[in-house]
Amino acid sequence: MNLKTILLGILFAALWASASAAAKIGLRSVEPLVLFQYRFIVAGLGMLAYSIFIQKDRLPQGKEWKELTIFGLLNVTLYLSFFVLGVSEVAAGIGSLSTATNPLFISVLSAIWLGRKVKSSEWMAVFLGMIGVGLACYPLIQNSFATPLGLFYMFLCMLSYSIGTIYYSNIDWKLSRTAINGWQVFLGGLLMLPLTLLMHNKPNNYNLTFYLSEFWLIVPVSVIAVNLWLYLLKVDAVKASFYLFLCPIFGFIYSYFLLDEPITYHTFLGTALVIVGLYVGQREKLSKS
């Protein structure tokens, strides 16, 4: 990889990891699901407008509507609903650390999906990742910076995202990537609306904090970071995974400086175990690249 790709990879990790901190800040003003409801609708409509009017993409046809709806349900409605509910109960750094383990779950679930035996290295990677998250969470639970319910939400978040990724990879898509992303985000946001209304129980304060948080989640995270990730995958899909290792590090930096959340030696040990787990899970692919 050249210097440009490396710098873009670091920028991706920095922006992607900021989602947890931005969400925590936005939650000071509005309910958890309301925060992401606006993000989905605005981001989805923006991407669809670009897809339809600029790229001149066609509309989905036949079974494509069903495939996009299922993908949106898994990758947006369930994944980010559980994420925002979880991050409201745990420190932002834990949110970033948990989502960084997604590749480990994806490798195991994809093996089960394809009917092949799960390798011992894959089980070891998941084990190290879960132990790492647990170790980093231990003092935070004691100091009320994380709750068991929040950690359970984060687990469901990772599970939904992993299943959604495997589902996406097994569909023979005919639509452009922009169209797929636009429709799955928009449809996922619509599917989330009943849940948002059902869980509404307090007034929301649409102040500057809310709008700044929404802007950050939509533009730097949903637009810039996602496109950087797609670029990195195109350059080298295997080596792109290296930048996921940086996400939990950036996540804890943000949580410490922006949210005054504690960092202890448990944090460093837990993060190190997660990174080792990610390396173990990707080692075979990296050795072939």
pTM here?
Answer: 0.78
Please return the burial class of 170, using the count of CB atoms within 10 Å of its CB with bins 0-12, 13-18 and 19+. Answer: exposed
The two tokens of residue 168 are 């996406």
Q: How much is the average pLDDT of 200-224?
A: 89
Is 221's pLDDT higher than 70? yes
Rounded CA separation 284/254 (Å)? 32
> Cα separation of 35 and 26, whole Å?
7
Which of 93, 69, 76, 84 lies closest to 26, judged by CA?
A: 84
Give the pLDDT mean for 2-25: 89
User: Across the chain, what does the average pLDDT equal?
Assistant: 83
pLDDT value at residue 50: 92
CA dist 29 → 25, 103, 104, 207 (Å): 8, 32, 34, 7
Least confident of 111-120, 150-159, 256-265: 111-120
Which residues, other chains included, contact 249 with Cβ-Cβ below 8 Å and sequence gap of 6+? Answer: 17, 271
Cα–Cα distances (Å) from 155 to 28, 32, 112, 150, 173, in that order, read 23, 17, 18, 9, 28
pLDDT on residue 289: 53
Return the DSSP state at 70. Answer: H
pLDDT recorded at residue 284: 63
Whether residue 241 has pLDDT greater than 70 = no
155: left (phi over 0), alpha (psi -120 to 50) or beta: alpha
pLDDT at residue 236, rounded to an integer: 73
- Residue 169's CB: how many other CB atoms inside 10 A? 11
State the Rg of the chain over Cα.
18
